Structure 1
Amino acid sequence: MKASPSLLPLLRSRMQGELLALLLLHPEREYSITELAEACGVSPTAILREVERLVGGGILADRRVGRSRLVKARIDTPLYRPLSELMAVTFGPLPLLSEALSNLPGVREAYIYGSWAARYRGEPGPPPGDVDVLVVGSPDPDALFDLAEGVSRRLGREVNVHRVSPESWAADTADPFLTSVRERPLAPLNLDQEA
């Protein structure tokens, strides 16, 4: 059996955390089983099993449209607010930063690094106090700062953004910062999201 995720050891798996974060932090949106499987990087069967559990537990709602099954967070339950806050501070950085950065012109790639990425990748340790983000590209610095502030408020923790050029990121460099980032766990952000 897989170990529980280091970000929130109460959960059975990292996939469960990713699924809950995606749905609870975007309560206005319905997702198909296929979309959820792609977002979490697992099979539709694995997502379907987890969705069944969460619908049965009253955390998610589902409906059928033709042959598709659409799933969304239930916001009409006392569990919604505390559970969504818990997911925001644990697994929330991935969906929230992916969504925010995918809408920012000039961003080519982005990664979470540091202690949050280490916990996400399963390294044991204390809960991360902040979230470190590496943005590859040339977005407007003021827009990037405003984005980080907005996501910080939603996550309830500081988001630190470091911007590098695509050339610097691609180069085999002796830059101590980039060397350190490359040697430690990274969590890539999905910038190809639909709004």
Structure 2
Amino acid sequence: MQDVQARSQLLPILRSPLVGELLAWVYLHPDDACSVTDLARRFAISQSTVSREADRLVSAGLIREVRRGNLRLLQANLDSPLTGPLTELLTLTYGPASVLGDLLQHVDGITEAYIYGSWAARYTGEPGPLPRDIDVLVVGTADEDDLFDAARKAEQRLGREVNVHRVSAKAWRNSPRDPFLTAVRSRPRFSIDLAGDQP
């Protein structure tokens, strides 16, 4: 469960990381209508918290809601003059989680994937400058060429270098003396959602 009171370190003009994640998800999936229930599950937060943040964003005209009976669906407000600039800001800050999840879910042989390094540090609240690149650890047997292709596509969307490092599941779980893996394990890391079950 994330701290909804913490100040966003990826985009400090936002009230909280949850606002960044919520906006990034709806703006980077503009054709999808996301239910409050599914968004709460995706971000491991209560439905009431998502609903409260959604109320603020709807009131500000940044997202729009559609009601289908008792179901409340949220979408990016693509008619807003802020759509273009806001999408770009969200892509640069909170976009890596969404973009990499969308791309890596289609690569066979991945059992786990993580963003580590400076982006993960900012995501978890460590202050510092906006990351210049995105470091990704892929666990499994995915083909290196497929990972390279996914990284290049991610770079095009995110506007920065994406470095992918692949390790076997055995190495990830059983290499206590590997300095690289020890460093990745000991520092903040973000688990990339590979399920592909968009809200």
The TM-score bracket by the shorter chain reads over 0.9
Is 2:8 the counterpart of 1:12? no
Is 2:82 the counterpart of 1:79? yes
Letter in 2 for 1:159: V
Q: Distance in 2 between matches of 1:73 and 1:23?
A: 5
Matching residue of 1:25: 28
Deviation at 1:99, TM superposition (A): 1.6
Give the alignment of 1:32-181 within 5 angstroms. Answer: 32-181=35-184
- Cα deviation digits, residues 162-181 of structure 1 (max 9, x gap): 00000100104211111111
Identity of counterpart residues, as a percentage? 50
- Cα deviation digits, residues 133-175 of structure 1 (max 9, x gap): 0000111111110111101111111111000000100104211
Q: TM-score, normalised by structure 1?
A: 0.96
Stretches of 4+ aligned residues off by more than 3 angstroms: none
Secondary structure, counterpart of 1:194 in structure 2:
coil
Q: Distance in 2 between matches of 1:35 and 1:122?
A: 24
Letter in 2 for 1:38: R
Q: Distance in 1 between matches of 2:70 and 2:58?
A: 18
Q: Distance in 2 between matches of 1:92 and 1:41?
A: 18
Of the structure 1 ranges 18-27 and 95-104, higher mean CA displacement relative to structure 2 is found in: 95-104
The RMSD of aligned alpha carbons is: 1.2
Q: Distance in 2 between matches of 1:151 and 1:103?
A: 13
Aligned length: 195
Deviation at 1:2, TM superposition (A): 3.1
Give ranges in structure 2 of 5+ residues lacking alignment: none
Q: Distance in 1 between matches of 2:107 and 2:197?
A: 13
Give ranges in structure 1 of 5+ residues lacking alignment: none
Of the structure 1 ranges 172-181 and 25-34, higher mean CA displacement relative to structure 2 is found in: 172-181
Q: Distance in 2 between matches of 1:128 and 1:26?
A: 23
